[in-house]
């Protein structure tokens, strides 16, 4: 599959499209595919999405890893742009070779919909668990 840009909605009250351009192709376990949103204007503030796929060690399965990096940048009057904080979200999956495509599609659908569920979104928003 060729690496193309990603267009994803942000979390604003009125979501807008954010364009992540292909920055680096997948090149094995040490170099995941990477997409970058350069709208911050400085590399320290670029939002990134990484995707890695590799065979599991000693297991008839494939491991997938996705990482979203969301830096928050401030402006220091002397040093210029500085990193204030950074949100890091990682999603990992182990997919046995014996799975069927329909089951893998169910997994993707559940994962996608999980992040749309108000109860689970609230985990991120309030940093409080469901009790």
Q: Could you read off the pLDDT of 15-66 as tens digits, one per residue?
A: 999 999 999 999 887 899 999 999 999 999 999 999 999 987 888 999 999 9
Residues 85 and 125 in one domain: no
Residue 108 and residue 128 share a domain: yes
Closest by Cα among 66, 72, 24, 28 to 49: 66
Q: Same domain for 116 and 85?
A: no
Q: Is residue 1 part of a domain?
A: no
Say whether both 87 and 106 belong to one domain.
no
The CATH number of residue 31's host domain is 3.30.380.10
Length of the chain in residues, anyone? 131
My answer on whether 89 and 129 are in the same domain is: no
CB 24 within 8 A of CB 31: yes
21 and 35 co-located in one domain: yes
Question: Residue 103: which domain range?
Answer: 99-131
Per-residue pLDDT band for 79 (boundaries 50, 70, 90) equals very high
Are 84 and 127 part of one and the same domain? Answer: no
């Amino acid at each position: 599959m060729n690496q193309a840009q990603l267009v994803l909605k942000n979390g604003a009250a009125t979501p807008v499209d954010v364009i992540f351009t292909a920055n680096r192709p997948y090149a094995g376990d040490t170099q995941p595919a990477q997409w970058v949103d350069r709208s911050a204007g400085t590399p320290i503030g670029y939002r990134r999405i990484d995707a890695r796929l590799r065979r599991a060690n000693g297991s008839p399965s494939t491991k997938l890893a996705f990482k979203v990096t969301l830096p928050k940048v401030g402006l220091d009057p002397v040093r210029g742009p500085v990193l204030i904080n950074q949100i890091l979200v990682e999603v990992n999956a182990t997919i046995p070779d014996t799975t069927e495509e329909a089951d893998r599609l169910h997994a993707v659908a559940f994962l996608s919909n999980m992040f749309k569920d108000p109860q689970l979104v609230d985990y991120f928003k309030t940093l409080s668990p469901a009790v």
